[in-house]
Amino acid sequence: MSKILYYFALIQGLFAPIFLFKTKTYYEDNKKNNKIKKGAIIISNHRTFMDAMVIAYKFFFKRLHYLVTDFYKNKRKIAKFFMSLLGGIFVDGFSLDFIERSQSVIKKGRPILVFPEGDFKFEYEPSKFSEGYIMLAIKTGAKIVPIVNDFNYGLFKRVNLIIGNSIDLSHYSKTELTKSKLKEINEEIRNKFLMLFYKLKRKKAEKFSNKYEFTSHKKGDVIRVFAGTHYHYGVYLNDFEVIQFGHTINNANEPAVVNSVSMAEFCGNKIPEVRILKKRERKFKRDAKDIEKYAKSCLGMGGYNIVNNNCLDFANRVTLKI
């Protein structure tokens, strides 16, 4: 009965993948070997109720279940009942009963979707993960499959997904899971997830022109200077604030972080070039207020990676709607 209701609901909602989220999928290793063949725990970022629908349609022939916070009161028992039929596994406070129910689902070869950020998040980049999905993976023996969603919903738009390589935590099954150990595993997995997020954003940014000119700059522009062997990029806000991802002034021995420097400090004795977008690309540029808010929200952020998270990658994410 529950399986019939689940697929009836998906079929009734087929207008959504046709009009609101046609998908394009990338894979971490560029090979389609990340298909979910057995029960797995899918983790993904979260912004709207459509996020679960995207993954459900992506794996249409896999009966998907998902963890749901049990916020329903007694007067909503009917709603809770139907959500259960549609695949919901309720997490009630500090009870671990959901693990036993999840084990039953995993044994049937069905995937479970978890949003480790918790409730809907409207932050620019993935926020911190709660650790419940790690316990679930270790207790059930299921592999974790990370999927990054760019939330590009709407008519004539395309949602981009990137599916990461599965993560096996079975070697922790006989390990004492202290709070510090859970935190360590969680941080490692979240860092892998962030690298997928950066990789997806970079793929989308590659479609934009890479033209720079010596011209006047304004708030929200990407600027660059030649640093001898490479270009260094930043986001111009005003003459006293250029947000860059790199070493702060006179701290070249410290890890690179997102920081704010003056225009004079950013340029030194060089003249900056300004990125020039094509006319058709300008609609994808964030407005100046949004650029400033995004850039400043990242101050202090680390995780520099020359391949997917360098100074240009950061500037692209901050200034473009990708």
Q: Encode the chain in three state secondary structure.
A: CHHHHHHHHHHHCCHHHHHCCEEEEEECCCCCCCCCCCCEEEEECCCCCHHHHHHHHHCCCCCCEEEEECCCCHHHHHHHHHHHHCCEEEECCCCCHHHHHHHHHHHCCCCEEECCCCCCCCCCCCCCCCCHHHHHHHHHCCEEEEEEECCCCCCCCEEEEEECCCECCHHHCCCCCCHHHHHHHHHHHHHHHHHHHHHHHHHHHCCCCCCEECCCCCCCCEEEEECCCCEEEEEEEECCEEEEEECCCCCCCCCCEEEEECHHHHHCCCCCEEECCCHHHHHHECCHHHHHHHHHHCCCCCCCECCCECHHHHHHHHHECC
Nearest-CA neighbor of 292 among 224, 233, 238, 215?
238
Phi-psi region of 141 (alpha: psi -120 to 50; beta: other; left: phi over 0): left
- Beta-strand pair 257-261/273-275: unpaired
Give the span between the Cα atoms of 130 and 247, in whole angstroms: 30
Nearest-CA neighbor of 281 among 314, 244, 322?
322
Q: What are the angstrom distances between the C-alpha of 207 and each of 168, 246, 278?
A: 34, 24, 11
Give the span between the Cα atoms of 131 and 51, in whole angstroms: 20
Domain with CATH 3.40.1130.10 in the chain: 2-205
Q: Which structure tokens are listed for 155?
A: 């008519």
Give the span between the Cα atoms of 301 and 54, in whole angstroms: 29
Q: What pLDDT shows up at residue 73?
A: 46
Q: What pLDDT shows up at residue 234?
A: 97
Q: What pLDDT shows up at residue 215?
A: 95
One-letter amino acid of 79: A
Q: Are 241 and 260 in contact (CB under 8 A)?
A: yes
Query: Which CATH number does 212-319 carry?
Result: 3.90.1720.10
Give the span between the Cα atoms of 238 and 295, in whole angstroms: 13
Domain with CATH 3.90.1720.10 in the chain: 212-319
One-letter amino acid of 301: M
Nearest-CA neighbor of 257 among 245, 275, 272?
245
Specify the pTM: 0.89
Query: Which CATH number does 2-205 carry?
Result: 3.40.1130.10
Give the span between the Cα atoms of 255 and 246, in whole angstroms: 8
Q: Which structure tokens are listed for 222?
A: 């990407």
Q: What pLDDT shows up at residue 255?
A: 84
From first to last of its 322 residues, the chain has per-residue pLDDT tens of 567 777 777 777 777 777 777 889 999 986 655 566 678 999 999 988 889 889 988 888 888 888 887 554 444 565 566 566 667 787 776 666 778 888 888 888 899 999 999 877 778 999 999 988 998 899 888 999 999 999 998 887 889 999 999 999 988 888 888 889 999 999 999 999 999 999 999 999 999 999 999 999 999 999 999 988 899 999 999 999 999 998 766 566 778 999 999 999 999 899 999 999 999 999 999 999 999 999 999 999 999 999 999 999 999 999 999 9
| Residues whose CB falls within 8 Å of the CB of residue 177, separated by 6 or more in sequence, listed in order | 135, 138
